[in-house]
Amino acid sequence: MYAKDNKAQRRQWEQRVERARYEVDLARRQYDAVDPENRLVGRELDLNNTPDALPAFAVVGCYAQGQTVLGNVAQARIKETDRIKVMAEELTKMGAQIEEMDDGLIIHQSNLTGAHVHGHHDHRVVMALSLAGMMADGETKIDTAESVDITFPGYVEKMCQLGAQMQVGV
């Protein structure tokens, strides 16, 4: 192999690299969930390919500045529960400003307060509500919490190891 220092070729590559960095930066800003001050900001998310993420993203949306739209996820209504309806109902009990759409949720920044919520025997709903409870002011009680064992046996113990204050059966 032979390589020779070619200033014109090097400059051409430098320009390509700069252009690629610029395009990556534009893409990152378009999808970035934080603003320049590192505050969580609402976004419009198409969850069609990830309907199981709806419960967790609904909780995150409560803490994002502005509005978060979780859309194109009508199939979330036919999971273990109607996750769109259930998350709207249960987060509303905690003080969320949330609107149900046919295919998703519109969530406005909200201050959540502990409440007694229903897990609807849905492991993902229970785990999402536990996150909401950890962030909320006051205590949150979730019934049917045993359903987390479906996908995450030891969830409560792991969360406690990470510093969460949770317990089962109280």
Q: pLDDT of 48-81, one tens digit each?
A: 999 999 999 999 999 999 999 999 999 999 999 9
Is 5 annotated as catalytic?
Answer: no
Q: pLDDT of 23-54, one tens digit each?
A: 555 445 555 666 667 778 898 999 999 999 99
Task: Judge contact between 87 and 113, C-beta under 8 A.
Answer: no
Contacts of 121 (CB under 8 A, 6+ apart): 80, 81, 144, 147
CA 37 to chain centre: 20
Domains of the chain: residue spans and CATH: 44-161 (3.65.10.10)
Q: Among 5, 32, 46, 52, which one carries the catalytic annotation?
A: 52
Whole-number CA gyration radius for the chain: 21
CA distance 60 to 133: 12
- Its pTM stands at 0.80
Kind and range of the H or E run holding 168: none
